[in-house]
């Protein structure tokens, strides 16, 4: 595997390595002729600079990383796209990295920082309950965007967050269902062990019930299955199926994510029932699919574009020393579509 290096190119061109380096990196101090000659040879040889060596040598690179937990959720896909657009505007490079639900995003971040000389990190999704000690090792500024609850152990001024108020938005949705005449509202939420987003949204649910003098019934709360992929259609499908078969009465079903709501939709259909005639169905996230599926799904829309803008804007302001770490909360928007109705 005789890989061609910068030295080989230099030799072939009869110049020094630094000259080749200058040609590659568009340095000013170089004769245009030598430069084009070198580029010619580079192309012929199919020479590609070794990124490892570059990263090793470079003191700082204009790159920021985006770490996504849970690649299956299309909500994050949209988020990443918006973020990427913003990063490109700033003439920075983005590296995208997925971590599985059972992986440690902080470990991944720590590695990436060393490897790529990152300027900053954006975490998307997941829970992020890490010890302060370990977090202390992460020296670059980072922003938690759409991340679940953060253990309050960590002082809030070491990082930023950008998200919607999950309790409030969840409240908004449940309250809307109640105002629509629903009293028996079932909910599919995160698994019991999950202390994050699922818990917050459940809190919103409880508050809405309480504010409307409806008593809370544990039987209506259905955690997603640990045995299936979290937030997946299959998970929503199975849980809904069990709910229906349990015979538990309800008129509305509030599902913690749109993807799961799609599964719920199918389970209801297969049970011979209709949405919204027999059951109203509400989701959360505002993914694209919710607008295309029939019936279209009533949901809480997270302002993806704005959140992405804010995330990047904030990160760069912090990098420039213009701002301190902050905790931005964006208002969600309830989008009423075909899957819910008044009763």
Partner DNA sequence: TTGTACGCGTTATCAT
Partner DNA sequence: ATGATAACGCGTACAA
> Taking CB under 8 A as the rule, does residue 227 contact a copy of itself?
no
Using CA atoms of 269, 237, 80, 197 in order, give the dihedral in degrees to the nearest 10: 120
Rounded least distance, CB 322 to DNA, Å? 25
Which residue has 């409806």 as its token pair?
214
> Taking CB under 8 A as the rule, does residue 134 contact a copy of itself?
yes
Binds DNA by CB under 7 A, chosen from 18, 40, 157, 246:
18
Stretch that binds DNA, among 55-63, 153-161, 248-256, 330-338 (CB under 7 A): 55-63
Assess contact for 271 and 244: CB atoms under 8 A: yes
The tokens of 156 are what? 């809030």
Per-residue buried b or exposed e for 21-38, using 16+ beta carbons within 10 Å of the residue's own CB: bbbbeeeeebeeebbeeb
**Which lies closer to DNA via its Cβ, residue 29 or residue 133?**
29
Assess contact for 51 and 61: CB atoms under 8 A: no
Stretch that binds DNA, among 51-59, 168-176, 188-196, 302-310 (CB under 7 A): 51-59
**Which lies closer to a copy of itself via its Cβ, residue 27 or residue 269?**
269
**Which lies closer to a copy of itself via its Cβ, residue 171 or residue 284?**
284
Rounded least distance, CB 290 to a copy of itself, Å? 11
The total of other beta-carbon atoms located within 10 Å of residue 225's CB is: 16
Using CA atoms of 166, 151, 259, 104 in order, give the dihedral in degrees to the nearest 10: 160
The total of other beta-carbon atoms located within 10 Å of residue 153's CB is: 10
Rounded least distance, CB 59 to DNA, Å? 6
| Residue 292 binds which of DNA, a copy of itself, none (CB < 5-8 A, kind-dependent) | a copy of itself
Rounded least distance, CB 25 to DNA, Å? 5
| Residue in 307, 313, 315 with CA at minimum distance from that of residue 331 | 307
Chain residues binding DNA by CB under 7 A are 3, 5-7, 14-19, 21-22, 24-25, 28-31, 33-35, 49-50, 53-54, 56-59, 114
């Amino acid at each position: 595997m005789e890989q061609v290096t910068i030295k080989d190119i230099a030799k072939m061109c009869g110049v020094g390595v630094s000259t080749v380096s200058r040609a590659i990196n568009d340095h000013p101090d170089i004769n245009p002729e030598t430069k084009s000659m070198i580029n010619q040879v580079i192309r012929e040889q199919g020479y590609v600079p070794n990124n490892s060596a570059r990263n090793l040598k470079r003191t700082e690179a204009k790159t920021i990383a985006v770490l996504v937990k849970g690649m299956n959720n299309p909500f994050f896909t949209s988020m990443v796209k918006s973020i990427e657009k913003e990063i490109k505007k700033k003439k920075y490079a983005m590296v995208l990295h997925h971590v599985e639900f059972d992986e440690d995003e902080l470990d991944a971040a720590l590695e990436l920082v060393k490897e790529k000389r990152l300027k900053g990190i954006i975490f998307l999704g997941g829970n992020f309950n890490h010890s302060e000690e370990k977090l202390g090792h992460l020296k670059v500024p980072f922003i938690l965007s759409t991340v679940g609850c953060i253990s309050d152990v960590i002082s809030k001024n070491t990082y930023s967050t950008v998200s919607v108020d999950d309790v409030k938005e969840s409240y908004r949705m449940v309250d809307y269902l109640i105002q629509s005449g629903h009293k028996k509202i079932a909910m599919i939420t995160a698994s019991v062990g999950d202390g994050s987003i699922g818990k917050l949204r459940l809190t919103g649910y409880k508050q809405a019930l309480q504010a409307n003098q409806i008593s809370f019934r544990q039987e209506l709360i259905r955690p997603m299955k640990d045995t299936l992929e979290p937030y997946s259609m299959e998970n929503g499908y199975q849980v809904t199926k069990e709910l229906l078969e349990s015979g538990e009465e309800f008129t509305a079903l509030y599902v913690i994510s749109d993807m799961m709501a799609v599964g719920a939709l199918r389970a209801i259909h297969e049970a011979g029932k209709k949405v919204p005639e027999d059951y109203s169905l509400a989701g959360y996230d505002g993914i694209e699919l919710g607008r295309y599926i029939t019936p279209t799904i009533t949901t809480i829309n997270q302002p993806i574009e704005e959140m992405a803008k804010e995330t990047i804007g904030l990160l760069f302001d912090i990098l420039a020393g213009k701002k301190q770490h902050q905790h931005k909360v964006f208002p969600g928007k309830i989008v009423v579509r075909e899957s819910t109705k008044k009763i």
